[in-house]
Amino acid sequence: MARIEDVAVRAGVSVGTVSNVLNRPQAVSPATRAKVQAAIAELGYVPHAAARALVAGRTSTIGLVVPEVTNPFFADLARGAEDVADEHDVTVMLYNSDKSADRELRYLGQLETQRVQGILVTPVRQVTGGMDALVARGTPVVLLDHPAGRRNICSVTVDDHTGGALAATHLIERGHRHIAFVGGPLTVVQVGARLAGAREVVEAAGGTLEVIETRGLGVAAARTAATDFARRPAATRPTAMFCANDILALGALQTATREGLRVPDDLAIVGYDDIDFAAAAAVPLTSVRQPRHQLGRVAAQLLFEEIHEPAQHGHRQVVFQPELIARESSRVPAHAG
Amino acid sequence: MARIEDVAVRAGVSVGTVSNVLNRPQAVSPATRAKVQAAIAELGYVPHAAARALVAGRTSTIGLVVPEVTNPFFADLARGAEDVADEHDVTVMLYNSDKSADRELRYLGQLETQRVQGILVTPVRQVTGGMDALVARGTPVVLLDHPAGRRNICSVTVDDHTGGALAATHLIERGHRHIAFVGGPLTVVQVGARLAGAREVVEAAGGTLEVIETRGLGVAAARTAATDFARRPAATRPTAMFCANDILALGALQTATREGLRVPDDLAIVGYDDIDFAAAAAVPLTSVRQPRHQLGRVAAQLLFEEIHEPAQHGHRQVVFQPELIARESSRVPAHAG
DNA sequence: AACGTTCGCTATAACGATTCAATAACCGAG
DNA sequence: CTCGGTTATTGAATCGTTATAGCGAACGTT
């Protein structure tokens, strides 16, 4: 493969001049510039990023580690972060930890080894020792959709507690008093917070909140939960269901419908995330919307702030507020209106 | 940040020894090994990937460029590729071209600059000049889910023509003669091939295939198409619908149901991809399943073959066969059985 | 005509690791 | 003891860039 020196020889100039053509073209006379560019084209020269990074001392990339690429929530987050990175002429390396703490740690290590400028990460569980060490060694890190317990790190989150409260308030206002929360594992911080927010509101209103913990947040989990639910005698069954995410909600909606329950007449459903599918469902789904793109943008901005002005950078915990999008799945049934 | 020399000084050994501890631990005595490891821990030393890559002449990564990370099809592809990469101690850099040829080209350039060992790519449209040049310069490339026109490159695809034929045959066997194909743009190779396969079968059986071209493959496209469809007089309406993917099919299913059509009684639906949601839908969806994980695996295997034995490597075009998964959405209606 | 000033280009020292030939240390055998 | 043969460690060359100091040549000013 052609090196910069091959280009220099071919163009009859020094390597320094070739480097200048590449990095500060205006510092080179048009004539030599043309010669060099011709040589580059003829040889198919492609600069060697590692050599560049070595002398520069850093790469022009940041890392983004998410637990689930398939999830539109994280895809939008990534999009937001990429937009900001583009403005800074930095590229984003995307890694999918797939909810495995092992993979997460491995990827973080890899990113550090590569001397990325900084890292955006949605930790699988909590902030581990490995991550702390990384921060201590000087790599700027911003937590995405995960609160920073410590104050030595920035974080950008959406207020899940309020989100849960929003959903519950909405259902209470619609006249429901017996509500089910579906989601899990409850140890997942987001799930836990949504539940807590909902519980507060329901209890304050004198209602009861029944927790149906699932193993995960996928369609399969929804199906088993909803099947069991639908087969209970109507009298003991909550009249509304708040699901920890839309996938769960859609799964529940479909399964409940198949089991003969009418939504929202027999069962009102509220989801979380407002994914595209939510609005397009057989019964359009009421959902709690998070400013996901904005979340990614702000996280990246905080990261770049820390990268460029480490001195006067104060670590901040940014909290966004979610918004309830009311649709048909929680409409007040005609007979109750 | 600590360099290898700092470690060497601290441990009282030479840099060569530190390097040995890192790369061939068995070649250094247990005593010094311990000293060095202690120094590494104390200083928080992290090797510099760029420096390594520079002397090694190559990185231990491969690139994967897909048009849509959100799509479970590509997520599974990626998983398959990653599994194989892991076996080779190579990490996968994932890039989302987001169906933009510009981004695709930019990412490919970046990967070449980084001297990755090879690249797996699902081209947005066709194989462009930029990609040819890259191959000519010597970076091994394998096309994923896209046929290689030229024979100077490997490709791994699923036979979309057969997939379309399978779907059509299934519907014909169920007694349908008037069938709609929904999907688009038709210039997308996969969409075109599925249509062609279906058309062949339908015409051979003496039926008619009506093409409803959509702007894209998302929920929104499905909704408009299905709404128009459902409002046509029943007599002029096809009795079955073959959608170019499951998202479209699910969108159509939901919209049609809302417009009062019963599935499969008034309208049979067959999708493509067999995503998780397909089986869990209100009416479980008949779909054409592709061996996606396997696709990613084999693509990566071909890539590594080319990387390790460039000499005796013959470029191959591997074609997988899809499989029809029959479910309720295309069941024969009771009155016709 | 001599003198600074630009301007365009060159030569070379980093950057941080790995590799490998050379050397030192050690050990048992003669 | 000394010698051959391992084994452990060292030191320097190397990878492909960028940055920088320096060096002529050309030019405008006095």
pLDDT value at residue B318: 96
Sorting pLDDT into bands at 50, 70 and 90, what band is B334? low
Statement to judge: residues A231 and A248 lie in one domain: yes
B66 lies in the same domain as B149: yes
Of A51, A96, A257, which is closest to B94 when you measure between CB atoms? A96
B15 touches strand C (CB under 7 A): yes
Calculate the average pLDDT of chain B: 94
In a domain, A306, yes or no: yes
Please determine, for residue B237, whether its predicted confidence score (pLDDT) is greater than 70. yes
Return the closest-CA partner of residue B208 out of B238, B231, B245, B229.
Answer: B238
Distance CA B95, CA B121 (A): 9
Distance set, CA A67 to CA A144, B72, B228 (Å): 11, 14, 39
User: Do A273 and A176 lie in a common domain?
Assistant: yes
Q: Are residues A153 and A258 in the same domain?
A: no
Neighbours of B184 (CB within 10 A): 21
Any domain includes B172: yes
- Taking an 8 Å cut-off on Cβ atoms, the answer to whether A69 and B75 are in contact is yes
Amino acid occupying residue A84:
V
Closest CA to A99 of A196, A216, A181, A195: A216
CATH number of the domain residue B194 falls in: 3.40.50.2300
Kindly state whether residue B336 falls inside one of the protein's structural domains.
Answer: no
pLDDT 10s digit of each residue in chain A, 337 long? 899 999 999 999 999 999 999 999 999 999 999 999 999 999 999 999 999 999 999 899 999 999 988 888 999 999 999 999 999 999 999 999 999 999 999 999 999 999 999 999 999 988 888 999 999 999 999 999 999 877 789 999 999 999 999 999 999 999 999 999 999 999 988 999 999 999 999 999 999 999 999 998 988 899 999 999 999 999 999 999 999 999 999 999 989 988 999 999 999 999 999 988 888 787 899 999 999 999 999 999 999 999 999 888 999 999 999 999 999 999 987 654 3
Amino acid A335: pLDDT: 57
B252: tokens are 């159509």
The CATH number covering residue A21 comes to 1.10.260.40
Let me know whether A154 and A297 are in one domain.
yes
Kindly tell me if the per-residue pLDDT of B146 is higher than 70. yes
CA nearest A49: which of A64, A59, A38, A39? A59
- Taking alpha carbons only, the member of B149, B122, B134, B6 closest to residue B64 is B122
Distance A114 CA to C25 C1' (A): 38
A276 and A164 part of one domain: yes
SS (H, E, C) chain B: CCCHHHHHHHHCCCHHHHHHHHHCHHHCCHHHHHHHHHHHHHHCCCCCHHHHHHHHCCCCEEEEEECCCCCHHHHHHHHHHHHHHHHCCCEEEEEECCCCHHHHHHHHHHHHHCCCCEEEECCCCCCCHHHHHHHHCCCCEEEECCCCCCCCCEEEEECHHHHHHHHHHHHHHCCCCEEEEEECCCCCHHHHHHHHHHHHHHHHCCCEEEEEECCCCCHHHHHHHHHHHHCCCHHHCCCEEEECCHHHHHHHHHHHHHCCCCCCCCCEEEEECCCHHHHHCCCCCEEEECCHHHHHHHHHHHHHHHHHCCCCCCCCEEEECCEEECCHHHCCCHHHC
Using omega within 30 degrees of 0 as the cis cutoff, is the peptide bond preceding A322 cis? no
| Average pLDDT for B161-183 | 97
CB within 8 Å of A194: residues ≥ 6 apart: A160, A161, A163, A164, A167, A181, A183, A242, A244, A272
**Taking 90 as the threshold, does the pLDDT of residue B239 lie above it?**
yes
Question: Which residue, among B7, B43, B48, B77, would best test binding to A if mutated, counting the most A CBs under 10 Å from its CB?
Answer: B48
Q: Kindly state whether A293 is in contact with chain B, defined as any CB-CB distance less than 8 angstroms.
A: no
At A279 the pLDDT is: 83
Q: Is the link from the previous residue into B333 a cis peptide, with omega within 30 of 0?
A: no
Residue A38: give the domain boundaries. 4-56
Nearest CA distance, B80 vs chain A (angstrom): 13
Whether residue B54 and residue A70 make contact (CB cut-off 8 A), yes or no, is no
Give the pair of three-digit tokens for residue A81.
């972060």
Whether residue A257 and residue B282 make contact (CB cut-off 8 A), yes or no, is: yes
Q: Is A48 helix (H, G, I), strand (E, B) or coil?
A: coil
Chain B residues touching A44 at Cβ < 8 A: 133, 136-137
Contact A280 B255 (CB under 8 A): yes
Phi, psi of A209 (to 5 degrees): -115, 120
Residue A337 belongs to some domain of the structure: no
Helix axes B101-113, B129-136, angle to 10 degrees: 20
Distance (Å) of CA A248 to CA A30, A137, A216, B140, B237 = 62, 40, 9, 42, 34
3-state secondary structure (DSSP) of residue A188: coil
Comparing CA positions, the residue from B41, B221, B109, B268 lying closest to residue A91 is B109
Interface test with A, best of B114, B116, B253, B285 (most A CBs within 10 A): B114
Helical axes A189-204 vs A160-173, angle rounded to 10°: 40
Would you state the structure tokens that stand for residue B72, as one six-digit string? 């479970």
pLDDT at position A334: 66
Residue B302 and residue B239 share a domain: no
Is the predicted pLDDT of residue B272 greater than 50, yes or no? yes
Question: Which pLDDT does position B337 carry in this prediction?
Answer: 39
Strand partners, B5: none
- Examine the fold and report which residue of B30, B56, B82 is the final residue of a domain before the chain moves on: B56
Cα within 13 Å of Cα(B75), Cβ side = 17
CA distance A67 to A125: 10
For residues B327 and B198, what is the distance between their CA atoms, to the nearest angstrom? 19
Asked if residues B278 and B307 have their Cβ atoms less than 8 Å apart, the reply is no
Query: What pLDDT is attached to residue B227?
Result: 94
Closest alpha carbon to B245 in B308, B322, B303, B305: B322
Provide the pLDDT confidence category of residue B336 given band limits of 50, 70 and 90. Answer: very low
d(CA B77, CA B145): 9
What is residue B311's predicted lDDT score, i.e. its pLDDT?
A: 87
Q: Is residue B108 part of a domain?
A: yes
- State the pLDDT at residue A282: 79
CB proximity B91 to A under 8 Å: yes
Burial of A69 (0-12, 13-18, 19+ CB in 10 A): buried
Is B335 among the domain residues?
A: no
Residues B296, B210, single domain; the answer is: no
Contact A205/A177 with Cβ under 8 angstroms?
A: yes
Same domain, A170 and A284: yes
B48 touches chain A (CB under 8 A): yes
Res. B200 pLDDT band, cuts 50 70 90: very high
pLDDT tens digits along B55-93: 999 899 999 999 988 888 999 999 999 999 999 999 999
In a domain, A77, yes or no: yes
* B108 and B121 Cβ atoms separated by less than 8 Å: yes
Are residue A81 and residue A165 in the same domain, yes or no? Answer: no
Go through B258-278 and write b for each residue having 16 or more CB atoms within 10 A of its CB, e for each that does not. Answer: beebebbebbbbbbbbbbebb
- pLDDT value, residue B335: 57
Is B220–A113 a contact, with Cβ atoms under 8 angstroms apart? Answer: no
Q: Which residue has the tokens 């987050």?
A: A77
Examine the domain organization and report whether A100 and A138 are in the same domain: yes
**Closest CA of chain A from B323, distance in Å:** 22
Residues A30 and A135 in one domain: no
Q: Is the pTM of this model over 0.85?
A: yes
* Domains contained in chain A, number: 3
Distance, in Å, from the CA atom of B262 to the CA atom of A223, rounded to the nearest integer, reads 22
Task: Please check whether residue B195 lies inside any domain of the structure.
Answer: yes
pLDDT of amino acid A336: 47
Residue owning tokens 């459903």: A269
Given a cut of 90, is residue B254 above it in pLDDT? no
Q: Is the dihedral of CA B25, A59, B54, B13 positive or negative?
A: negative
Peptide bond into B264 cis (omega under 30): yes
